């Protein structure tokens, strides 16, 4: 004989399950209503990526600080100067400290991050990743990714360049990127392949991570590439730091504003100024503020409420000469 379904027991079990999900990091149940500073007992290590004052990193940092202010989380910020080896060592130190959560830049790649992610999981530390995806680490250990999808965003930018500026067979395009790093360089490789599909001759230039900290280091290489390819129609930069320095590169190469189409990724006060003065014509926005804010929010939700991690593609489309003024105030404030 089949046992009758006990509705009262079912309701009691459901209530107990919901109550268990509401138990936070300290083992105490959370209030049912809105709670101020609800994540105040959670400790997080957040990787900003760049050095302090870095154009892109500053926006990420501002997003993370806002999330910490909104949630009450105790956040330690880690600055790495975009150096992969330094990030890995800092991640090793972060895992050893056993915080409740770590928000990690994915630049070092799966091979470097995965063993440390496994160690963090054994310690009970939640992981989130931002800016560069690490799919194997997420698939094997857990966590989630907040940032633009590298290859699709790069390919979309290449297609937009082709459509907007009429790139065709025989045109020369210089694309800078970390082409020796398949993880980080997937975005710029996507752009290069899209331009090649349109028939352009693509010159790939290696862009060392040090250039992000000091964009002027790229002046000799970029000007030499422009001299070697005098008919260059477009140059694509791998990040906001270099794109914001486009006027310096062009003037060093004795090019006038608009003579070469300057394209890249991100926004910043420098990029907005370059749009105003005709040096930059197009950029792909990946909303770094969200890459700072959402990983901390997600870690807090995971630790305090037992919720699933947040996956967000922050690629937001394109900023152009027609619409840059809509984001200029936010960019100037270090928010966009």
Spelled out in words, what is the top-level CATH class assigned to the domain 150-285?
Answer: alpha beta
Q: What distance lies between CA 129 and its chain's CA centroid?
A: 9
Tens-level pLDDT at each residue, the chain (336 residues): 434 434 444 444 444 444 444 444 444 445 557 889 999 999 999 999 999 988 899 999 999 999 999 999 999 999 999 999 999 999 999 999 999 999 999 999 999 999 999 999 999 999 999 999 999 999 999 999 999 999 999 999 999 999 999 999 999 999 999 998 888 899 999 999 999 999 999 999 999 988 988 999 999 999 999 999 999 999 999 989 999 999 999 999 999 999 999 999 999 999 999 999 999 999 999 999 999 999 999 999 999 999 999 999 999 899 999 999 999 999 989 998
Q: What is the pLDDT of residue 32?
A: 58
Residue recorded with tokens 């004795």: 254
CA pair distance 219, 214, nearest whole angstrom: 10
Q: Which sequence spans correspond to the domains of the chain?
A: 35-148+288-314, 150-285
Do domains 35-148+288-314 and 150-285 share one topology? The answer is yes
CA pair distance 277, 248, nearest whole angstrom: 12
CA pair distance 256, 312, nearest whole angstrom: 39
CA pair distance 74, 44, nearest whole angstrom: 6
Q: Give Cβ neighbours of residue 252 (< 8 Å, ≥ 6 apart).
A: 219, 222, 223
CA pair distance 102, 95, nearest whole angstrom: 8
Q: What is the pLDDT of residue 14?
A: 42
pTM (2 decimals)? 0.87
Annotation: CATH topology of 35-148+288-314: Rossmann fold (3.40.50)
């Amino acid at each position: 004989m089949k046992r009758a379904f006990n509705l009262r027991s079912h309701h009691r079990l459901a209530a107990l399950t919901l109550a268990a999900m509401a138990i936070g990091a300290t083992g105490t149940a959370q209030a049912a209503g809105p709670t101020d500073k609800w994540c105040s007992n959670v400790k997080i290590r957040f990787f900003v990526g760049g050095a302090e004052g870095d154009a892109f990193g500053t926006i990420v940092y501002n997003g993370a600080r806002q999330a910490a202010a909104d949630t009450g989380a105790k956040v330690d910020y880690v600055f790495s100067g975009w150096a992969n080896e330094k990030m890995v060592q800092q991640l090793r130190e972060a895992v050893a400290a056993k915080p409740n959560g770590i928000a990690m830049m994915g630049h070092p790649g799966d091979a470097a991050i995965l063993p440390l992610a496994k160690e963090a999981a054994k310690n009970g530390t939640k992981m989130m990743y931002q800016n560069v995806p690490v799919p194997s680490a997420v698939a094997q250990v857990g966590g989630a990714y907040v940032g633009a999808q590298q290859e699709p965003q790069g390919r979309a930018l290449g297609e937009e360049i082709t459509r907007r500026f009429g790139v065709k067979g025989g045109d020369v395009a210089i694309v800078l990127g970390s082409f020796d790093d398949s993880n980080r360089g997937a975005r710029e490789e996507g752009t290069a392949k899209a331009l090649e599909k349109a028939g352009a001759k693509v010159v790939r230039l290696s862009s060392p991570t040090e250039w992000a900290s000091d964009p002027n280091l790229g002046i000799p290489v970029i000007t030499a590439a422009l001299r070697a390819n005098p008919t260059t129609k477009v140059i694509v930069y791998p990040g906001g730091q270099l794109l914001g320095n486009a006027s310096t590169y062009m003037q060093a190469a004795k090019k006038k504003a608009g003579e070469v189409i300057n394209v890249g990724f991100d926004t910043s006060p420098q990029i907005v100024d370059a749009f105003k003065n005709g040096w930059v014509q197009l950029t792909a926005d990946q909303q770094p503020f969200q890459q700072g804010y959402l990983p901390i929010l997600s870690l807090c939700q995971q630790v305090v409420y037992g919720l699933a991690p947040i996956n967000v593609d922050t690629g937001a489309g394109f900023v152009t000469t027609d619409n840059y003024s809509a984001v200029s105030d936010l960019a100037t404030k270090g928010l966009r």
